[in-house]
Structure 1
Amino acid sequence: MKKKLFAFVLLLLAGTVYFMFYYQKDTKIFSPKEADAIILIDTKKLTREYVYSLVGHPSLWFGSKKKNTISFRKSGVEIPDFLQVFHLKNSKVSNWYSAFELEDWKTFLSFLKQQKFTDLGNQVFRKDQIFIKILGKNLIVGSSSDDFDRVNVQLSNNSQVNLFDADSLVTNGLGSIILNTKKGSHNLSVELRHDEIEIRNQSDSYDPFPLISKLLKTDSFLETELNAENIKSFSSIFDETFADSSFINQMKASVHLEEVNDTIITYSYDDNFNEIEKKTFQKIIQPNYIIDFQSLNPEKTELYFQNKKWVNGQNQFTAIPFQPNLITQQSKGFEIKSTRKPIQQSFNLNENYIFVKNNPLLLSFLKTLSSKEKKMISDIDYIFYGNRNQDYYLKVQFKKDDLPLILRW
């Protein structure tokens, strides 16, 4: 009898674990046809990763969670087996959205109130850079409210959505990123490790680590080399015509950050109405940089700059807000160089990459961020993007810590 009872309890426990952490009732995803980038996260895999990590860190088992606090998982929102976050074509690069089904409207409003969301009216709520719009039994979460109506039209009209099987896309790691371009669709896997996030396609033919090792030896804040295809891909985020109209087919750049004294001059008057000049000083962050553009047709590139009014009478490239600088024409292109403290190009590696190394001075630029957002950024060590032929790779390396990323924030 005891053996049967033990077997029953064991079976019940195994079933509970299976349904909580493995069973996926629906892997079909409806996504807007206008989405040019989709991030898919396997929430069951993410939950398993969180639990496994938590088991290995017993010091976090009894946290300082306040009584009667409503978690997002119990906020009245249905958590899908596959969470999708998407970006719409021709939307701002910072605008990302996700949609959820609402199971308990009253509980969700209590959750918003507890989290100190501000009611903006018309069922729109905001906290910091998170916006939420309630639409009957559904809600849209986004980093902006700009495209709420557009997202709603897309998702509520069957002719404007694509249906795909998330399980076939998320084959490795915790998720996938689907990029829809004019040349086709790319599926990149997302891996979450102890202190890094790695995004890449399935090919193992591209090894970025020798390149990263070289870049880590520099003191630069930013190092990049890009060919025509990468320039077109990145510039299209801001201006789809830039790459074709400018004829620029190669770019190299090095950027250093430095803290300098800035003089502020103000004027006041004494009792006799004599003008008094007053000087004050403040610390500001100033980039020192050099940028090389190679062009297929330097004359047309120069004409493009002039039509855009990016070059003034002092040969300063005004499209870069950090002055002063000087633009000079070379044999096959142009060089833009800051003049306050000139620097030289660090590398000529003939690769396609963007490398950003974190700098403590960076946070001085990010005064509007919350303390939690600043903490996340300060924890980053470096970001690397690399591309060779059809291989794409992105790595966000965080600083070493006893806690894995999934438990840090």
Structure 2
Amino acid sequence: MRQHVMELLRAGIAAAAPGPAVARAMPDLLAQPLAAGGCWHVVAVGKAARAMAAAALEALQGEPVAEVLVVTNACNDAALAGARVLQAGHPEPDEAGLAAATEIERLLSRAAARDRVLALISGGASAMLPAPAAGLSLSDLQEVNARLLRCGADILQTNLIRQQLDRLKGGGWLRLSQAPVHALILSDVPGDDLRVIASGPTAGPIGGPADAARVARDLGIWDNLPLSVRTVLARDQAMPDTGPDRNRLIGSNGQSIAAMVAAGAVKAGLALQGDVQLCAEGLVALALDAAPGMPLAFGGETTVRLQGRGMGGRNQELALRFAVEAERRGLGSGWIFAAMGSDGRDGPGEAAGGIVGPDSLDLMRAQGIDPEDALARNDSTPALAAADALIVTGATGTNVADLAVFLRRA
């Protein structure tokens, strides 16, 4: 059962392979020739940036290419011939990301009207490219990011606020470049809203400063934000004009779920969305009615409110909460549930997620770990490790949010 579930998850990840997705999209971009004297400027950002750039370089052989810049996180930052690869922090923005953002601004500003910019965008790019708006510092953005992570903000709320505080987000790339910007986008956002993916560098903003301020108040973090941030969000600003967008979605969580269904799973009605505990309860309710031998496939991204200082991630926490809820609801024996990040990383550790069954909680307790206490401290990693219930894959080179599978023995 464990092998079957992991095969389904691997099918979902394979469907989001960034290289083939870029390769399929490039002929359409190359069908229209460059203007006389023009050239390509390629910038790839996010967890899948290196693989996307490699495929683009292959397709651009014989084309005039001025420069290729790749910004990605550790584990995905191997050297790439013909490109400059920069590492940036994730999920916390850092000085390296600030320097990378400056390099992207220079690249975009150098592109002439006769040129074209090829933007290759994948999940994680928002945190990797901090470019503080006037009056703000990197430390301001880091404080905002930390509070958004702790309070359980969803990706739309998080990126709405980020957009108001940053020069490159919410269409910033379009405002900087004289050349047309053609974007190929790998979505890590449920619903695939292009304004939300990577905070919309090549799309319009989600909302304005007043919308961001309202969300910050709704989340209960407004009074704790730096004064400089509250000042920026209190400004009366018109929505910026980003001009025309040329965005194309080339991969998504939905496409990965479709691949899992093609491999034998059944698409379930509940997405991985919202509070992780409520999601776990909904998943167990579906599991109680699941047909034996028919895997259920799920995709999306839950939110976790950090109350402790333990080690874990949203998928590990979801797996542990599922096991606890399954025991409480009497799900019985002969089942397995797995949840993982499609990028191969779940939180700050090395695990990609968690895979649990009816014996997992007993194995934890046998080693002196109380699962409920571990959840109260957001300490799912050591609890799952005690039950041999961690999924460890290493970086997958892609990122289309999270995938999960439930299977009951036939």
TM-score by length of 2: 0.24
From the two aligned structures, give the one with the greater helix fraction: 2
From the two aligned structures, give the one with the greater strand fraction: 1
- Select the structure of larger CA radius of gyration: 1
* Higher normalized contact order (CA 8 Å, seq sep 6+, divided by chain length): 2
